[in-house]
Amino acid sequence: MYLVHIPHAGTFIPQEYLDDYCLDKNELTANIYEYADLYTDELFDEFYKKFGGVKSKYSRLFFDAERFEDDSKEEMYKFGLGWFYENAILEKKPLRNTKHKEEIKKFYKTHHENLNRLTKEKLGKFNKVTIIDAHSFSNRSYWFFKKSDFPDICIGFDEFHKDEKLIEIIKNEFKEYEIAENYPYSGSIVPLEYYQKEEKVKSVMIEINKRIYLEDDNITKGRDFEKIKEKLMRIANRIS
């Protein structure tokens, strides 16, 4: 059995926290939309309808559910980009103050409590569960992430939690595209209660390069948006 995790499709920051940000409105909006996995909630909608899961309406510039809660364990914290971003994305500059960090952590915790609960429920009912970690990524390099030669599709996983059958289905459906494993991003989310402990909990990250479903502005849906959505729909319909 499966469940889907869509953590980065959202662009919402609650009004009461907007004054924490140092950027002007236009600059903040540009950062939010550049770093959002735009429309992944639409692309992976068939998975969500079929299996349920957790998706966030919040911008990852409010909190990033894919990062470790413990900053000492999070490699991106050294860039000021742990679960609570302190630096901007488009330029290396301060993003916001930290006065509400502990308060905002409640939103982060609620997200993970929901993911943990659903994982536990499905594991108890079916004796196995695979988390489908749904993402997209920019074809651009950032000040904190200097990479190039991006593939069209990135499939991420941890060897301990690898779902080989699902990975082969994904590869087959996207066979006309350039596919890489664990590049430029690696791993896939697993609740800490099960991480490296329970092999019956699998997880596969599907990362889709924005260049194959968005226009060059990284915001407008491209001509192949429906094509990519249909491919993901077919994957969802092949698994149970």
pLDDT at 146: 84
- What is the chain's pLDDT, residue by residue, as a tens digit (240 residues)? 999 999 999 999 999 999 999 999 999 999 999 999 999 999 999 999 999 999 999 999 999 999 999 999 999 999 999 999 999 999 999 999 999 999 999 999 999 999 999 999 999 999 999 999 999 999 989 999 888 889 999 999 999 999 999 999 999 999 999 999 999 999 999 999 999 999 999 999 999 999 999 999 999 999 999 999 999 999 999 997
Angle between helices 225-238 and 164-173 (to 10 degrees): 140
Q: Which of 203, 198, 197, 89 is nearest to 135 (CA)?
A: 203
Q: What is the pLDDT of residue 175?
A: 97
Range of the domain at 177: 2-238
Domain count, the chain: 1
Stated pTM of the model = 0.95
Cα 67 to Cα 72, 76, 83, 105, 168: the distances in Å are 11, 8, 5, 12, 27
Contact call for residues 55 and 111 (beta carbons, < 8 A): no
User: Rounded to whole angstroms, how far apart are CA atoms 84 and 96?
Assistant: 10
Residues contacting residue 6 through CB under 8 Å, at least 6 positions apart: 37, 40, 41, 44, 48, 53, 54, 55, 56, 134
pLDDT at 148 (0 to 100) = 82
Q: State residue 205 phi and psi, 5-degree precision.
A: -95, 130
125, 197 in Cβ contact below 8 A?
no
Exposed, middle or buried by CB within 10 Å (0-12, 13-18, 19+), for 179? middle
- Residue 11 is encoded by which pair of tokens? 């662009």
CATH of the domain at 104: 3.40.630.40
Beta carbons of 183 and 151 less than 8 angstroms apart: yes
